[in-house]
Amino acid sequence: MPFSKLGLAPALLLVLADNNYTRPYPIQQEIIPAILKNKDVLGIAPTGSGKTASYVLPILTQLQHSTAGKNRHINVLVLVPTRELAMQVKEVFHIFNASLPQKVKTLAVFGGVSVNPQMMALHGVNVLIATPGRLLELVEANAVHLSDIHTLVLDEADKMLNLGFKEEMDRIFSLLPKRRQNLLFSATLSQDVNNITQFLLRDPLVF
Ligand code: AMP
């Protein structure tokens, strides 16, 4: 099935072609329509599978229909284990955002660098990509609010748990609105990942 049949915003189709995305990878074919139907998703998928575009493309499509919310109240949170992944995900949002009639402001925040520039940059942000510890620091400083989130993505959930972020993740989950869409990606389905999956996902599409 071509990208044009998946229900994505038409403006994305040209950028897909420009970036040599000729056909959807299997994960994209399965997951994109499910995300557009607001379903929860569990994707057991390593790097290289095309998992990033499988959530970035439908999230950008969904945001084309939404109106601007309150300042510093993000709508989409992508939790990642490392600065490297945060920057990679930001780059994928950046590539596809360029073509859209309604631009989506995306920011990546992570520890190990000064927090002040990140606080300032959060102004008007809609999609936040964050490592758990730095996100909590920003929440505690009232630089960002999580009460209007409609989509939560956990990318490389297994790595986040292996790096010891379980407590921070639980704290973040407790701050999110109850009604939301949850998308969880992990290279492996360990017992720990399975526990989070049971806790977070409602009747997910499993890939
Ligand atoms: P990921 O698994 O998200 O890290 O993506 C792996 C690589 O595949 C990235 O370099 C993407 O740009 C590329 N990619 C993802 N989906 C497609 C596609 N449908 N066609 C061609 N390249 C793709």
Name every protein residue with a CB atom under 6 angstroms from any ligand 1 atom: 20-21, 24-25, 28, 47-53
Q: Which of 67-76, 110-119, 130-139 has the lowest mean pLDDT?
A: 67-76
Task: Determine the distance separating the centroid of ligand 1 and the alpha carbon of 25, expressed in angstroms.
Answer: 8
Q: List the structure tokens of 89.
A: 């995900």
Task: Determine the distance separating the centroid of ligand 1 and the alpha carbon of 72, expressed in angstroms.
Answer: 31
Percent of the chain with pLDDT over 70: 100
For ligand 1, atom 18: residue with the closest CA = 21
Q: List the structure tokens of 200.
A: 């977070």
Q: Residue 101: which H helix or E strand, with range? A: none
Q: Give the pLDDT score at 207.
A: 97
Testing ligand 1's pocket by substitution, the residue of 13, 16, 21 carrying the most ligand atoms inside 8 A of its CB is 21
d(CA 40, CA 173): 15
Task: Determine the distance separating the centroid of ligand 1 and the alpha carbon of 158, expressed in angstroms.
Answer: 20
Phi, psi dihedral angles at 76 (to 5 degrees): -130, 130
For ligand 1, atom 20: residue with the closest CA = 21
Asked if 7 and 27 count as a contact pair (C-beta separation under 8 A), the reply is no
**Average pLDDT of the segment spanning 22-34:** 98
Q: Give the pLDDT score at 69.
A: 83
Can you name the residues that pair with 186 across neighbouring β-strands?
A: 44
Task: Determine the distance separating the centroid of ligand 1 and the alpha carbon of 20, expressed in angstroms.
Answer: 9
pTM greater than 0.85 (yes/no) = yes
Q: Residue 42: which H helix or E strand, with range? A: strand 41-44
d(CA 145, CA 26): 35
Asked if 184 and 42 count as a contact pair (C-beta separation under 8 A), the reply is yes
Q: CA gyration radius for the chain?
A: 16
Task: Determine the distance separating the centroid of ligand 1 and the alpha carbon of 135, expressed in angstroms.
Answer: 27
